[in-house]
Structure 1
């Protein structure tokens, strides 16, 4: 009788999520590469739509108790089981050390979720892989200690820059049951984590890239006709780090004679505040708030727009973008990009070559939008260069091949 194939447990914050197409793309590609896994989600979905990528995934999906009070019987059974595991004493010490520095309900919840996961993982599980280095990696780490398994992570943006250094060091050190390895999607993020790791090779730079087979060929883009309306598009959550408040202020500074319309796609907590700001500036009639959309709708909007604008910035709590996938998606449709030199955005866009990067001051943004409007030939030339760069250096498959090798090597060591 053939024994079950070793299986990976993938820990995510929530599944599925419209704002995390990069995770869906990666998991579908890993599945296609022959890496078997199951998904363990810390939260139930809140989006009402899904992307086609989500529908392609065949992996089983399990949901842990989002709050321990949600399923006390399940949590109690897990706690009793965990206390009988050989790794419980070490896991409890690790949790107590963490809790001494972070006395929060969230920290306690992570350990409770880890107990549930440790009890319910299939016997053939050979390793864990967490998307995001904060909460999901804490659950993966405690579970790995309980079950005596290796674990790994993929780090992105907020999790790198808002997690305390003491916690990052512990998750990057073998002496504190740290990850076997970690992947991150930006050079700036990799440099930061390697400086905190016990060995630099514990952190691997793996760009997400794009699976261009999922996207239509770019449209034929003639220069915008003189005097034609300038169609601006932004895609991103309405949160501080995306800088849309600055963009609205910039739109209010555009010349009176410029005919423009801005479309925003994405959810987020600042919708009411930003809509009120736009109304106060007299811009409501020139703005379409489309809310969260699936990827086909996003791509359709990109194909009909003239300029993609993403004024990313560092939020007050240190949160920031990594390399937003939407910039690569815009490039896939030869849509010119106006953004800011925050975090890893310059790793993809060299200003004046593949797009334009400006500071996030409203007058700077307004000046660059006006320059695009005044020179209709400028955008297509930059977009062509970004499209070539995307194809040459930011395709998905090389990163997936590298990640699959590291995950399979990690699991092989645990057998």
Structure 2
């Protein structure tokens, strides 16, 4: 079968304001996940494992740490002479200038660049979701159905009102779409992974955008396709988590520790990254560690239970962590007892200090201050 000319666009420009201090100084796709990874690694690894070779990353908010991490695409074999990784940043002085105001508006701003690629298919993904998926299967679904748009969907047992929701008819055809409905009619949600027919996407961007651009998928692009084109679903049966809130971020890590979360160690589907060049984790004679993940460069002398410890973190003797996520370079001193907490990069915590929450997650910022507590749904 002839391989179609395919372009992947990873949207990585969001501010991620619902993650509070975690995204005050970095874009959400650059947030640390599972100790050694960044959130964007998952999307890029799904593409790499699916043998997609033309990948464009759309940036906007605080891209510096993300650019440093991307390393010209080398960890994902995208540092190529032909094809490979391309960064799309906001610009002035031509068609598409200015700052995009939503995810479909990002596509509208770069419509001329997309058109110049002449894609037959355009894969569009958000960079802030945890899941593994062979995108070749999505393309097969799309082509077999003769679709103009294929939407990756999944069943969601939580609050579906945060997402796009669909109703599916015979042969996987999407019959109705609702964007963040107050009372979702179904539990079938949109994962923000799409496969568009290239010419159909470009035509829609021109027709819908006008002079003012677009907004979010759910406001314009997806309703347009559902009403005027053939739209089908590709069902994701495995794990999927939108890392949109503190509670979702914390819960994804707890599920990872429990073995019910995203599979990051499948040898058939590796997650690639540009890891920090640090020595292996060290566990002292006074340490008590169980059901935890320790990243490179960390030194643990205290108690760590059911927690994720990031690179270069120090947990001193007399410190006690349970159900926590601790990010790069933080130091947890003697007499600090934390449960159900996220500790941001560089925090230097000294005892006596005790933060224990029930059915909530607490964020401690890089200055060591408790800045937010959020209910875990």
TM-score scaled by length of structure 1:
0.33
Q: By percentage of residues, which structure has more helix?
A: 1
TM-score by structure 2 length?
Answer: 0.36
Which of structures 1 and 2 has the bigger CA Rg? Answer: 1
Q: Which has the higher strand share?
A: 2
